Structure 1
Amino acid sequence: MDNLRKGFPVLEQYTYLNTAASGLLHERVWEFRQDHDMDFLIQGSILKEKMGEMLTEVRERLGEFMKCAPNRVALIPNFSYGFNSVLESLDKPKKALLIKNDYPSINWPVESRNFEVVYAELNEKLEDNIIEQIEKEKPYFFAFSIVQYINGVKLSIEFLKQLKERFPDLILIADGTQYFGTEQFNFDTTGIDVVISSCYKWMNAGYGNGFMLFNESIQGKLSPKHLGFGSLQGKYKAHEGNFIGKFEPGHYDTLNFGSLKTAVDLIEQKGIENISKQIDHLKKIARDRFASAGLLEKWTLGRDDFSSLFNIKGDEKLFNNLREEGIITSQRGDGIRISLHYFNSDQDLDKLFRVLKI
């Protein structure tokens, strides 16, 4: 456990239960960033001459970690950039399926374009609602968060596999920002067509970096329109018309993407199995205690597969009280969002429960 907590100085000051808002910067990522900028300070363009080599290493490292061939990994500054790029790549008008009250950066971009939009209700029958809307409305694509940002409701990877098997022509576009970094993920076995993610939350990679993963069959269904000098630079982007290059049109910040590679290396060192095991341990304790105190929406308690993100009943007064006690959380929806990562501990939960008086 000490090995999982080591390297996060914030934990020496606060009980940090807010990864769903912003992940923590590990000392190793910070050290990389210092070294990188020192090199840039004294080398200038000589450092940037190695940009293509570094970005290739990042792409290949991500592909290895996510079980996706590197020529189907695109590097992006954040989820919203990548998702809007995908939406611009789709023919319109088409019918889109969304989850009602999903993350605004998913629903708003779809709603603002010339798509016919239908919704699956977010309730105890979420999976049934999704299937019912697909059968009834026959959407062209389904865009969704793997983990809902307000209450942590999670669509299991097994469900998504089954969904693709049942509706093979439906394009699945998943946001993994509230998911990646919490458990092992094998992209090529999921059935998902496009995965997009920022990496500043559960992957603890800092801001300004993200990625997209594409399955082999999606290229014929997307027509990306972005193009720039960066589109043709580097390994896997050697010729005009290259697919992933059209999601990478400009010069990229080696500071931010080098931070991402360092963060992935750190996850691998700590062990994604160990990370997942610790998260599972904490989230089960938390859900049981929150449920016993009547702090969770009852319909969420019947779900077998759930995340470590919870929305408990509480007002601004409670939120401020938690902050005064050094417990960092977020106000989301009608309650207070608690999010538990691998660097959290039983002692963190004990302090939270004590302040909540549960």
Structure 2
Amino acid sequence: MKSITKPQDFPSAANFSYLNAANVSLMFSGAEKKIHDWFNDVSKNGSNNFTEEVEENVFKDLHLSAAKLINAEPTEISAGSSATELLSSLAWSVSPKNEQNIVSTSSAFPSTVYPWVRIANNTGAEIRLAKEINNYTSIDSINDLIDKNTKIVCISHTEYRNGQTYDLNQLAEIAHQNDAILVVDATQSAGAIPIDVKKNSIDVLVAGAYKWLCGPFGSAFMYIRHNLANQLEPGLVGFRSHDNMWDLDATRIRYKNDASKFEFSTTAFGCAIGLTQSINYLNGIGIEKIYNHNLFLSDHLIKGLQKLGASIKSPLNQNDRSSIITANFEKINSERLIKALKSAKVFVSSRKDSIRFSPHLYNSLEDIEMTLSVIRKHI
């Protein structure tokens, strides 16, 4: 199978085998150009072109493209500099109280949990983390921690270390049965796995740009269900939070009536413009097509690794997996193999004494064969 992209979309993909989207994806060239153009214009022209009106509306296109990506309304999208920033603002906004608890998993990326830990340190709320057993966290183990005092269920849609992917419908049902808010960190799934926030009854979703969305560092988006956003006061506020941002008056603040109230300050706006281009590009190809392409490559990789004697640490069940594949070899140092792969221009990551592979839409079967060939020579 060939890449489903054009050579000019990711020019550097021809120079090496990059199976590392779960770390940092290659950026779509159209996004890179838009970012460069924006910074070049501002550096040379200041606000001559980037006027107050343009600045006020700078996130509108991102609202549209992100909404299309996850089947939301544009008014339910907020732009930010990182998923962690947006999640932190949300955490302070909700601020679970002393008698309440927050449920997540011990295998989650720390930034998915840390904002809630900070709140718990302040309010006395309880943090409950479902334990991982044999590289797998069951939904039953998450369910066992949820009760009528659960305020937040905050889950990584896809776990960063081994690619385990949770059934969002099931999690939403469990959370809502207990009047809890389901918060999904989709940084390791958005752009690679189809997401429908309406169908899956998701309350809040955050996603960073620089992984599967093929965008830049310094940009992210957050979805907040409309009737929930109306109830929340942002944890982080600034002059953009006011419903008329250029009506500058420090004696009052009147929030916007949608998710954009969480956009609070100036940022590297060019990065948001670049993310918009990347999401539009992915939407144009189709996330279902990207998902099937990535799974085809990862299936081929799994079969090849197993033939070489690797132990696969990622779920193999179709309903629990993604294109993130983690594996190791008994009595063979994973770091040594990663160095050998790098010497052959095959780029992967190290995670918990294993090798993490994460192919994306710009990869081809040739990249997988090259990877397996290098490993074969060094085991």
Output the CA distance in 1 between the equivalents of 2:170 and 2:13.
Answer: 35
Q: Secondary structure at the match of 1:250?
A: coil
1:76 to partner: Cα distance: 0.8
Contact 1:73 1:244 in 2 (8 A): yes
What is the aligned counterpart of 1:140 among 151, 155, 158? 151
Output the CA distance in 2 between the equivalents of 1:298 and 1:202.
Answer: 21
Output the CA distance in 2 between the equivalents of 1:227 and 1:299.
Answer: 40
1:231 to partner: Cα distance: 1.4
Output the CA distance in 1 between the equivalents of 2:60 and 2:282.
Answer: 19
What is the aligned counterpart of 2:109 among 103, 106, 116? 103
Contact 1:76 1:209 in 2 (8 A): yes
What is the aligned counterpart of 2:276 among 236, 261, 276? 261
Output the CA distance in 1 between the equivalents of 2:211 and 2:286.
Answer: 18
Number of the residue aligned with 1:337: 356
Q: Give runs of aligned pairs for residues 192-341 of structure 1, distance below 5 A.
A: 192-219=202-229, 222-232=232-242, 240-242=254-256, 243-297=258-312, 300-302=315-317, 304-313=319-328, 314-341=333-360
Number of the residue aligned with 1:62: 66
User: For 1:47-102, what per-residue CA distance to the aligned partner results, in whole angstroms no more than 9, with x for missing partners?
Assistant: 22112233212212222232111111110100110111111112322211110131
User: For 1:321-357, what per-residue CA distance to the aligned partner results, in whole angstroms no more than 9, with x for missing partners?
Assistant: 1111111111111211111111111111111111122
Q: Secondary structure at the match of 2:234?
A: coil
AA paired with 2:286? G
What is the aligned counterpart of 1:19 among 6, 18, 21? 21
What is the aligned counterpart of 2:38 among 22, 25, 36? 36
Contact 1:164 1:191 in 2 (8 A): no
Output the CA distance in 1 between the equivalents of 2:219 and 2:187.
Answer: 11
Contact 1:56 1:234 in 2 (8 A): no
Output the CA distance in 1 between the equivalents of 2:318 and 2:228.
Answer: 31
User: For 1:87-143, what per-residue CA distance to the aligned partner results, in whole angstroms no more than 9, with x for missing partners?
Assistant: 1112322211110131011223323332311121223461111122225x8522111
Which has the larger share of helix? 1
Number of the residue aligned with 2:129: 119
CA 1:113/1:279 → structure 2, altered by over 3 Å: closer, same or farther?
same
- Give the number of equivalent residue pairs: 354
Contact 1:209 1:257 in 2 (8 A): yes
Give the unaligned 5+ runs of structure 2.
248-252
User: For 1:268-307, what per-residue CA distance to the aligned partner results, in whole angstroms no more than 9, with x for missing partners?
Assistant: 2323232122112112222333345453356833453311
Contact 1:226 1:246 in 2 (8 A): no
Output the CA distance in 2 between the equivalents of 1:284 and 1:161.
Answer: 29
TM-score after normalising by structure 2: 0.86
What is the aligned counterpart of 1:159 among 170, 173, 176? 170
Output the CA distance in 1 between the equivalents of 2:254 and 2:12.
Answer: 46
User: For 1:197-254, what per-residue CA distance to the aligned partner results, in whole angstroms no more than 9, with x for missing partners?
Assistant: 111100111111101101134236643232221113679x9x8122534421112332
Output the CA distance in 1 between the equivalents of 2:368 and 2:76.
Answer: 40
Q: Secondary structure at the match of 2:129?
A: strand
Number of the residue aligned with 2:250: none
Output the CA distance in 2 between the equivalents of 1:14 and 1:326.
Answer: 5
Number of the residue aligned with 1:72: 76
Number of the residue aligned with 2:91: 87
CA 1:234/1:183 → structure 2, altered by over 3 Å: closer, same or farther?
farther
Q: Secondary structure at the match of 2:311?
A: coil
- RMSD across aligned positions (CA): 2.4
1:195 to partner: Cα distance: 0.3
Q: Secondary structure at the match of 1:263?
A: helix
What is the aligned counterpart of 2:200 among 170, 190, 211? 190
CA 1:59/1:110 → structure 2, altered by over 3 Å: closer, same or farther?
same
Output the CA distance in 1 between the equivalents of 2:306 and 2:228.
Answer: 42
Output the CA distance in 1 between the equivalents of 2:56 and 2:313.
Answer: 51
Contact 1:172 1:193 in 2 (8 A): yes
Output the CA distance in 1 between the equivalents of 2:141 and 2:231.
Answer: 26
Output the CA distance in 2 between the equivalents of 1:62 and 1:344.
Answer: 24
AA paired with 1:102? A
Larger deviation, residues 326-335 vs 244-253: 244-253
Contact 1:146 1:176 in 2 (8 A): yes
Q: Secondary structure at the match of 2:21?
A: coil
Contact 1:227 1:245 in 2 (8 A): no
